[in-house]
Structure 1
Amino acid sequence: MNTQVFEQALQNLQLEHHQVFKHETERATFDLKTYLSERKNQVEAALKQSITVVYPEKIYEAMSYSLLAGGKRLRPILCLASCELSGGIVEMAMPTACALEMIHTMSLIHDDLPAMDNDDYRRGRLTNHKVYGEDIAILAGDGLLAYAFGFVVSKTKEVSDTNLLQVVSKLSYAVAATGLVGGQVLDLEFEGKQNIDIETLNFIHAHKTGALLEASVVCGAILAGANDEVLQRLSRYARNIGLAFQIIDDVLDVTATSEELGKTAGKDEKAQKATYPSLWGIEESKRQARRLVDEANVELIPFQDKAIPLMAIAEYITNRTH
């Protein structure tokens, strides 16, 4: 290698290291707590305006009771962050963000029912069926699910019909037997059984938990008109953080208190559910979650600084305490 070529190669290497250092420095100084708080406040404000209590009041009150009960609002925030990464704006994605929370809330209402996971508390308050009865709780979940799709279609602005149709299709796939419902069925079938393997457990949670998380990330990008390469990267990112999220959920069910979780701690063990800690132990479960988050963030490297919020959220998933 002659001197000129060598010097050019050295300059390129130094520039690359400078860019990596700059990116890591900005990521380290990113205030995730403030970001999550601001985005959560935006989502809360939109959710409060999303449902008007009319006749028959009881069903709208039951829907609002669970929808406005707080929570991390992680799925809506992922949708907003993904839309912005892909060149969109918050207003473009907010109706879909709200719809994601409606669908997620439906799943929580139904999951807490005696025929499912049978829990008395959710997000630090009595579950829907404990306040309104099982019949109204079932209908409140149904109402939120149906309302979500209409809300996306009627409230989304400045998005092409083609992209909007893709979002509706993605949401439907994530919640149907192809996603959340299918995962829940297997979760119930394997309750109390000791012969579950890691592949089956991964399948359950990739569908029961991961499918809606993936839809949250991918739908935000679809709304902004992202191309297939971007969608594929974001999909792989989301699948990894979805499994990491569930692994940490399983760990917290063992290690956290009911007050910290806002729901009954230790119920997985009482129900004899197969969990990641039951197969791997606590420390190995944490290590696997860490690996998944690292693999998720690798997918975001090409987006550079625009990916900092999504990278930080991935880190938050493994470090959270509730």
Structure 2
Amino acid sequence: MATVSEAPETSQELSEVLEDLRRHLLWQEEDGGRVLQVDARLAAELRGAGLPRPQALARPPAAKAAPPAQPVPAPQPAQAPRAPAPEPERPMAARPAMPRAAPSPEMLLEVPPQSRPIAGALPGVVEGERPTLDQIRRELGDCRRCKLCTGRKNIVFGSGNPRAELVFVGEGPGADEDVQGVPFVGAAGQLLTKMIEAMGYNRDLVYICNVVKCRPPGNRNPEPDEVTACEPFLRAQLRAVQPKAIVALGKFAAQTLLRDTTPITRLRGQWREYEGIKLMPTFHPAYLLRQPAEKKKAWEDLQQVMKFFGKQPGQRG
């Protein structure tokens, strides 16, 4: 049990603690630090003990300051906020692989022709086997693979000898071909018939087809997605016929088969190869109707084809 003489000493010690606390609070306020919140109940008890209310004093020397009864965090000088530490990069193996969308037809034809992937086999045709034209036509069906289907009257598949030694490949059907469903029957087709006969053939002995099987509106050029949609059928037709030589009529036929963007004016007249088959690029008959002076060059190209087959002008069979 404490004696009466101990009370003043206890009061003196508590007064010293409060004095230290008051000095610390004044120092915090002067330096912009946080203000320590004193519990209201504790303050009332201290006042009930007869202790004087703290008065503002000048900041005492740091050497005389005693540690407070309960440690108070020292104020931190104002600093610019630190940027958050960068998150360590996860190893590539830990990242989930994002599925890659299949390339669109437009993407496939935006690259140079020599870099485009070759069209694969048709679903209804066994890879490595020689298909028949009937198989390919059945696989083509009522084709809806590109937008040309919306304006066509007929699919123009091809015509002629299914085992021909010579194949003519054009660009696409025109108005007359769209109506009849047969390739090269209009004005350009009539000129092609004369060219074939001058080579010593007739239409029944050769095979004729186009890159695209439906007429482009207004006889415009085929667009990249349309060429891509039809190209597998053209290549299947050539595998079915297996000719000894191909005459590519115009730039679309030559550039599609050869994967080459060289203009037809420079491609023509020079033997090339398509999958081991001799290929002669020349002008399209429709172009020759517009530019009759170029017929001489086209005839020179066809004479090279005749020489390849050992034919003379006017020779039949």
Asked if TM exceeds 0.5, the reply is: no
State the structure with more CA Rg.
2
Greater strand fraction, Structure 1 or Structure 2: 2
TM-score normalised to the size of structure 1? 0.24
TM-score (norm 2): 0.24
Higher helix share: 1
